[in-house]
Structure 1
Amino acid sequence: MDKKLLKKLRLLYVEDDDVVRNELHELLSDFFDKVFVAKDGQEGFDVYHENKDEIDVILTDINMPHLNGIDMLKKIRKDSKKIPVFITTAHSDNDLLAKAIKLKVYEYIIKPVDVRYLLNEMNELANVLYQDSLLRKQNKELEEYKRVIDASSIVVKCDEHMKISYVNELFCQTTGFNETELLGQDFKVIKHPDMNDEIYTKMYSQVLNNNSWHGVLKNLTKEHKTFTTDCYIIPMLNDMGEIIGAISIQRDITDEVNKKRNIQLSLMKDKSEIFIRSKEGSIEQNMIINNLKKELAVIKNDFEKAQRDIDKYIYSLEKYSLQNKHLKTELASYKKKASEHSNILKLTNENAQLEYRVKKLNEKVDELSSKYEKQIHQMKLNHQLEIDDLEDSLNEITEKYEAIETDDVLVQKLEYWKEKAKSEISRIESLEKQIVAHGDKEFMSRVFK
Structure 2
Amino acid sequence: MNLNRELLKKYTILYIEDDDVIRTELSSLLENFFHSVIVASNGKEGLRTYLTNQNNIDIIVSDINMPELNGIDMVKKIRDIKDDVPIIFATAHSDSDFLIEAIKLRVKEYVVKPLDIRKLLIYIEDIAKSLELEKLLKQQKDELIKFRNILDSNNLLLKLDKEFRITYANKLFCKATGYKKEILLGKELVTFRHNNNAKKIFDDIYEKLLNKNSWEGNLKIKRKDDTTLDTKSNIFPDLDDFLEMLGVIFVAYDTTKEQELKRQMQLALIKEKSENLQKTKEQNLEQETLLIKIKDELEETKKELNIFKLNNNDKTNEKILKKLEEENNFLNQQIRSLKFEIEKLNETLNNSETNEVLKEKLDYWKERSAQESQKLELLEKSIIANVEPAIIEKIFN
TM-score range, shorter chain: 0.5 to 0.7
In 2 relative to 1, CA 120–268 (structure 1 residues): closer, same or farther, beyond 3 Å?
closer
What is the rounded CA distance, in whole Å, between the counterparts of 2:245 and 2:110 in structure 1?
Answer: 44
In 2 relative to 1, CA 74–265 (structure 1 residues): closer, same or farther, beyond 3 Å?
same
Amino acid at match of 2:300: K
Show the counterpart of 1:104: 106
Which digits, 9 at most, give the CA deviation of each residue in 1:374-420, with x for residues without a partner? xxxxxxxxxxxxxxxxxxxxxxxxxxxxxxx2x3x862453224533
Q: Match for 1:48 among 50, 57, 68?
A: 50
Show the counterpart of 1:250: 252
What is the rounded CA distance, in whole Å, between the counterparts of 1:25 and 1:122 in structure 2?
Answer: 14
Q: Match for 1:17 among 16, 19, 39?
A: 19
In 2 relative to 1, CA 80–178 (structure 1 residues): closer, same or farther, beyond 3 Å?
farther
Give the Å deviation of 1:185.
0.5
Which digits, 9 at most, give the CA deviation of each residue in 1:203-246, with x for residues without a partner? 32443344543332222334555321122333455566555543
Show the counterpart of 1:80: 82
What is the rounded CA distance, in whole Å, between the counterparts of 1:429 and 1:29 in structure 2?
Answer: 119
Give the root-mean-square deviation of aligned CA atoms.
3.6
What is the rounded CA distance, in whole Å, between the counterparts of 1:122 and 1:131 in structure 2?
Answer: 14
Q: Match for 2:156 among 150, 154, 172?
A: 154
Amino acid at match of 1:120: I
Give the Å deviation of 1:281.
6.1
Amino acid at match of 2:7: L
1:419 aligns with 2:299: yes
Asked if the contact 1:195–1:218 (Cα under 8 Å) also holds between the matched residues in 2, the reply is no
Asked if the contact 2:238–2:247 (Cα under 8 Å) also holds between the matched residues in 1, the reply is yes
* Aligned pairs (5 A) from 1:179-328: 179-193=181-195, 196-222=198-224, 225-237=227-239, 245-278=247-280, 285=286
Q: Match for 1:165 among 160, 164, 167?
A: 167
Amino acid at match of 2:159: K
* Secondary structure of the corresponding residue to residue 249 of structure 2: strand
Show the counterpart of 1:351: none
Show the counterpart of 1:175: 177
* Secondary structure of the corresponding residue to residue 43 of structure 1: helix
Amino acid at match of 1:273: E
Q: Match for 1:115 among 114, 117, 129?
A: 117
What is the rounded CA distance, in whole Å, between the counterparts of 1:242 and 1:113 in structure 2?
Answer: 44
Amino acid at match of 1:232: N
Amino acid at match of 2:81: D
Asked if the contact 2:158–2:168 (Cα under 8 Å) also holds between the matched residues in 1, the reply is yes
Give the Å deviation of 1:24.
1.8
In 2 relative to 1, CA 117–426 (structure 1 residues): closer, same or farther, beyond 3 Å?
closer
1:124 aligns with 2:4: no
Show the counterpart of 1:357: none
What is the rounded CA distance, in whole Å, between the counterparts of 1:95 and 1:83 in structure 2?
Answer: 22
Show the counterpart of 2:358: none
What is the rounded CA distance, in whole Å, between the counterparts of 1:231 and 1:241 in structure 2?
Answer: 23
* Number of equivalences: 316
Give the Å deviation of 1:253.
1.9
Which digits, 9 at most, give the CA deviation of each residue in 1:86-137, with x for residues without a partner? 2223455544443233212222333332323322222222232233333333
* Secondary structure of the corresponding residue to residue 86 of structure 1: strand
Which digits, 9 at most, give the CA deviation of each residue in 1:141-185, with x for residues without a partner? 433443444344333333333322333444234324343221211
* Secondary structure of the corresponding residue to residue 23 of structure 2: helix
* Secondary structure of the corresponding residue to residue 196 of structure 1: helix
Amino acid at match of 2:189: F
In 2 relative to 1, CA 265–211 (structure 1 residues): closer, same or farther, beyond 3 Å?
same
Asked if the contact 1:12–1:55 (Cα under 8 Å) also holds between the matched residues in 2, the reply is yes
Give the Å deviation of 1:83.
0.9
What is the rounded CA distance, in whole Å, between the counterparts of 2:125 and 2:290 in structure 1?
Answer: 95
Asked if the contact 2:193–2:202 (Cα under 8 Å) also holds between the matched residues in 1, the reply is no
Asked if the contact 1:40–1:65 (Cα under 8 Å) also holds between the matched residues in 2, the reply is yes
What is the rounded CA distance, in whole Å, between the counterparts of 1:201 and 1:269 in structure 2?
Answer: 37
Show the counterpart of 1:4: 6
What is the rounded CA distance, in whole Å, between the counterparts of 2:281 and 2:118 in structure 1?
Answer: 96
What is the rounded CA distance, in whole Å, between the counterparts of 2:92 and 2:54 in structure 1?
Answer: 27
In 2 relative to 1, CA 280–107 (structure 1 residues): closer, same or farther, beyond 3 Å?
closer
Structure 2: runs of 5+ lacking an equivalent: 312-326, 328-378, 383-397
What is the rounded CA distance, in whole Å, between the counterparts of 2:253 and 2:280 in structure 1?
Answer: 43
What is the rounded CA distance, in whole Å, between the counterparts of 1:185 and 1:129 in structure 2?
Answer: 42
Amino acid at match of 1:69: G
Give the Å deviation of 1:63.
2.8
Asked if the contact 2:14–2:38 (Cα under 8 Å) also holds between the matched residues in 1, the reply is yes
Amino acid at match of 1:25: S
What is the rounded CA distance, in whole Å, between the counterparts of 2:100 and 2:113 in structure 1?
Answer: 18
Amino acid at match of 2:140: Q
Asked if the contact 1:195–1:217 (Cα under 8 Å) also holds between the matched residues in 2, the reply is no
Amino acid at match of 2:125: N
In 2 relative to 1, CA 194–270 (structure 1 residues): closer, same or farther, beyond 3 Å?
farther
What is the rounded CA distance, in whole Å, between the counterparts of 2:228 and 2:309 in structure 1?
Answer: 81
Asked if the contact 1:60–1:88 (Cα under 8 Å) also holds between the matched residues in 2, the reply is yes
Asked if the contact 1:42–1:72 (Cα under 8 Å) also holds between the matched residues in 2, the reply is yes
Show the counterpart of 1:399: none
Show the counterpart of 1:38: 40
In 2 relative to 1, CA 253–94 (structure 1 residues): closer, same or farther, beyond 3 Å?
same
What is the rounded CA distance, in whole Å, between the counterparts of 1:41 and 1:129 in structure 2?
Answer: 25
Give the Å deviation of 1:280.
6.0
Q: TM-score, normalised by structure 1?
A: 0.60
Which digits, 9 at most, give the CA deviation of each residue in 1:333-387, with x for residues without a partner? xxxxxxxxxxxxxxxxxxxxxxxxxxxxxxxxxxxxxxxxxxxxxxxxxxxxxxx
Amino acid at match of 1:186: E
Asked if the contact 1:14–1:60 (Cα under 8 Å) also holds between the matched residues in 2, the reply is yes
What is the rounded CA distance, in whole Å, between the counterparts of 2:307 and 2:107 in structure 1?
Answer: 128
